[in-house]
Chain A
Amino acid sequence: MIDTLAILAIFSGLFFFLSGSIGLLRLPDLFTRLHALAKADNVGLALVALGVIILEPAVVNDIKIVIIWLLVMAASAISSHLVARHALRENRNDD
């Protein structure tokens, strides 16, 4: 029962990962691609992490996984911001 729940969470996370990477490949420009990426980063990893937390018995490791998820959320927001900002500045220089 609990295993089923974990598998369900992980596979719904996978859906977001796969759609994120397909979006990265198919969307027309950098900014929309970054938008697709954020889905994989935030929701995808959150669901996978949830599934792994359900499966992992040790509480210490569960806390670690939550920290990992929070870090990835923060890092993904800041990285997207930096990459987009960099792209904008470079384009302005080229004009």
Chain B
Amino acid sequence: MMTGGASTSILTIALLIALNLLLLSLLIGLFRAWLGPSVEDRFSAILLIGTGGVAILLILAILLQITALYDVALVLALLAVVGTVALTQSESNHD
């Protein structure tokens, strides 16, 4: 995978640990989506997954050496707001 000597393998291990910790933080955040209680609480968890997902994609791009994953992160960052807008605009129909 990555070219280079001993330092790159330490780097790889460090990045992998970072990747696992990021996923752990998403897991913790998802408990909020599960617990609720309000829709807004759930949605704040989704916001966290969006940002954490961007961070995970950035690190995966380095680890797997796929530069296209930066584009994926860019798209995710661009569209993170559309879901929130959809939630807040399409609801509250009880009048």
The residues of A with any CB-CB pair to B shorter than 8 Å are 3, 6-7, 10-11, 13-14, 17-18, 20-22, 24-25, 30, 33-34, 37, 40-41, 44-45, 48-49, 52, 55-56, 58, 61, 64-65, 67-68, 71-72, 75-76, 78-80, 82-87, 89-90, 93
| Pairwise interchain contact A68-B70, C-beta atoms closer than 8 A | yes
Select from chain A the residue with minimum beta-carbon distance to B69: A61
Residue with the highest number of chain B CB atoms closer than 10 Å, among A3, A24, A56, A93 = A24
| Pairwise interchain contact B11-A3, C-beta atoms closer than 8 A | yes
| Pairwise interchain contact A17-B52, C-beta atoms closer than 8 A | yes
Main secondary structure, interface of B, reads: helix
Q: How far is the CB of A34 from chain B (nearest CB, A)?
A: 6
The count of chain B contact residues (Cβ–Cβ below 8 Å) is 50
Which residues B43-62 have CB closer than 8 A to chain A?
43-45, 47-48, 50-52, 54-55, 58-59, 61-62
Main secondary structure, interface of A, reads: helix
| Pairwise interchain contact A87-B29, C-beta atoms closer than 8 A | no
Known: A10-B18, A44-B55. 6 other contacts (CB 8 A): A10-B59, A21-B26, A25-B29, A33-B44, A86-B40, A90-B40
Q: Can you list 30 A-B pairs with a CB-CB distance of less than 8 A? A: A3-B8, A3-B11, A11-B18, A14-B21, A18-B28, A21-B25, A21-B26, A24-B29, A24-B32, A24-B44, A25-B32, A33-B44, A37-B47, A40-B51, A48-B18, A49-B58, A52-B59, A56-B61, A56-B62, A65-B70, A68-B73, A71-B78, A72-B51, A72-B54, A76-B47, A78-B81, A79-B84, A82-B88, A83-B87, A86-B91
Select from chain B the residue with minimum beta-carbon distance to A17: B25
Residue with the highest number of chain A CB atoms closer than 10 Å, among B10, B24, B88 = B88
